[in-house]
Amino acid sequence: MLKNVAALLLDEVHPFELGVLCEVFGLDRSDQGLPVHDFAVVSAEGPVLRTHAGFTISTPYGLDRLEEADLIAVPAGSHFVDREYPEEVLDALRRAVDRGARVMSVCSGAYVLGAAGLLDGRRCTTHWRHAAELARRFPRAVVEPDVLYVDEGQVITSAGTAAGIDACLHLVRQAYGPDAANAIARRMVVPPHRDGGQAQYIERPLPRTPCDTVGETLVWMERHLDQEMTVEQLAAQAHMSPRTFARRFQQETGTTPYRWLLRQRVLLAQHLLETSDDTVDSIAGRTGFGTAAALRHQFVRSLGTTPNAYRRTFRGPGAMAEVA
């Protein structure tokens, strides 16, 4: 059942993430035959809350309103990564799950669920910038940094900002079917379902290490991504035996030569898809994948989306279509 929905706010809440919850669950769309929810904005820290944008929000609802909610959603807020939370808030979330209600987080709201112990032993996600810290702070959580949202039954977590829309529409789809989710998405002018995950949005600059005995080889590899490379060739380039080179490479980069090379090729492909009108065949050649099929395979494995879909996402619908 998904009739009674409460958005749980803490101080310095982010308005956009709150707005997502209000848009999906708080609007009356009964004129379209869509479900209507008993929706309330609940304050966890007094009747007036600050937003991170500088204005305030007031609400008459306190924590007692959570006791009747089928879904409690926690939007992101500033300093959620390193702040403490009122124990009465965490208790309210635990009680909700104990009585069979569902809880959901948007972006850094996952830290509130983690502090309540609700991520322990569960898969979860948050904004990719906060994923490593979420895993460190809550080591019993199974953090998946590359997905848009994770549904673990009673606990749903979503990634940064707009991924909250994906999670909300997912819940609507579960409760009322695809027609309702599609109709709400159409009203919001958003896709009812997005392919891929947040991996395609993650910035992954080339790691640099202070212990740089393979540094010159890394630079050479970057400049020759379109060429075939073997460990033996790279070891010769670094004037080492293959075994020593592989060991040093792992120590200094944290990965193998093959995985490092593959990641740099995907990064270059991302850059070319964003900034050029080259065909996918041409990009496959320039990045060392050889064929469009090979590029597509590795792109989907790494980012969860196709080169063509990635180009449309970052360059708009007028982007050059995939030709292979």
Structure tokens at 139: 């080591």
Structure tokens at 172: 């609507």
Query: Which residues make beta-bridge pairs with 104?
Result: 73, 156
Query: Is 168 annotated as catalytic?
Result: no
Structure tokens at 71: 């879904």
The whole-angstrom separation of Cα 80 and Cα 55 is 18
CA distances from 175 to 15, 25, 88, 169, 312 (A): 26, 12, 29, 10, 31
Structure tokens at 283: 């990009």
Among candidate residues 107, 124, 168, 211, the one labeled active-site is 107
Structure tokens at 228: 């075939």
Q: Are 56 and 49 in contact (CB under 8 A)?
A: yes
Helix (H, G, I), strand (E, B) or coil at 180: helix
The whole-angstrom separation of Cα 168 and Cα 263 is 32
Q: Are 286 and 240 in contact (CB under 8 A)?
A: no
Question: Annotated active-site positions, please?
Answer: 107
